[in-house]
Amino acid sequence: MKKLVFVSALLFSVLTLFLSTNFASAAPTSFARWASATQTILVSSYSSNYSAWSTGATKWKNSTNFKVSTIVGSHSSNYYAYDVYDSNVDWDGIAKTTHGNGVITKSVLNFNTYHTSKSNYTASIKAGLAGHEIGHSLGLNHVSVVEIPTNSIMYPYTFKSNGSPARALSPTSADITVVNNLYKKSIGSILSTSKEDGIYLTPSWSVYYEDEIALEKDADLVVRAKVIDYLGSHMDKNKVQPYTTKHILEIQDVIKGDIKEEKIVISQMGGSDGVTNVFGEHTTLLTVNDEIIVFLKESEDGSYRPINEDDGIYLYKDYEGEFVNIRNNEGFSSFEYKAR
């Protein structure tokens, strides 16, 4: 199997820098709401992050019509938070929110202490992360990745790849306006939403990767491959990330990494078992015959995951004649392979 080196053009880096420093105002959109604008998050007594959850809730309570508070409580609640530890995922926090007909009926919030126990996760960063996930739990989507990274608490990333903070640590005026419109003091008709009923996974990614060079640096494996088989969706509620869909990739070229296998398993967030539909906000499930360049990390079970889900996948578009990133619909400005 030919092994190749990946080179990115300077133009792509310049374009990415421009996009990441765009000073346009960013505001999140909403997907659903609780029937009542007064809610209590029960935080597990085993959590070491009660202070962060409490501070994060206060950020919304003091500035919006959504009056949310925290108490120590049981996992039997329909609105609760607890810590998990998983080195096989790239998110530092996640909200798993269930809604039907635009009404939220349950939201489970997690800190991933594999990330949040590190020294760069200061008290203020963790409070901002809690505020971010609570924002999802009250019905907010992420802001666009091309917006300025620090002007919304709903930006998808906690840190830039250089280690500096990537998101606002408190709700901004744009965030507050969206929530106040969603939870008006006189709550009227049920919110109309185009999203299907089900469970929505809205992760906060620990690191934002500015371009393919940053992705490549952190990847265990980078390959050009073809999706050749669908292995189905798997729901294992004993796992930190219980909802996954797997495919088999046939490797065409290795760009980074040492691997002898010609086929590997790739795992993505979300899927359906025929009863429950689970959607990852950052996940576009692959289909058989897709041709991709993918930036991967290896998990303990021997499968691979794309870094930050859609961020790590470039899909070949026949009509464009190039690979296009699923997340931002941008291609490599120019790239070449050089045989070793």
**Per-residue pLDDT tens digits for 39-75:** 999 999 999 999 999 999 999 999 999 999 999 987 6
pLDDT confidence tier of residue 10, bands split at 50, 70 and 90: very low
Dump strand ranges (E) for 74-220: 79-84, 91-100, 103-112, 157-160, 198-208
Residues 6+ apart with CB under 8 A from 250: 225, 226, 228, 262, 263
Arch. (CATH architecture) of 21-208: 3-Layer(aba) Sandwich (3.40)
* pTM, entire model: 0.86
pLDDT confidence tier of residue 26, bands split at 50, 70 and 90: low
> Among residues 259, 125, 147, 151, which one has the least CA distance to residue 204?
125
Better pLDDT: 6 or 323:
323
Q: Is residue 24 over pLDDT 50?
A: no
**Maximum Cα–Cα distance for the chain, whole Å?**
66
> Cα dist. 279→150, 188, 245 in Å?
26, 27, 11
Residues 6+ apart with CB under 8 A from 9: 332, 333, 334, 335
Fold classified for 4-14+212-339? OB fold (Dihydrolipoamide Acetyltransferase, E2P) (2.40.50)
Q: Is residue 310 over pLDDT 80?
A: yes
Mean pLDDT of all residues in 83-90: 94
The residue ranges of every structural domain in the chain are: 4-14+212-339, 21-208
Quote the percentage of the chain above a pLDDT of 70: 83
pLDDT 10s digits, 252-267: 999 999 998 999 999 9
Mean pLDDT of all residues in 266-277: 88
> Among residues 238, 258, 261, 241, which one has the least CA distance to residue 249?
261
| Least confident piece of the model among 139-148, 233-242, 250-259, 312-321 | 233-242
Determine the Cα–Cα distance for residues 218 and 209; give it in Å rounded to an integer: 9
Q: Is residue 338 over pLDDT 50?
A: no
Better pLDDT: 93 or 196:
93
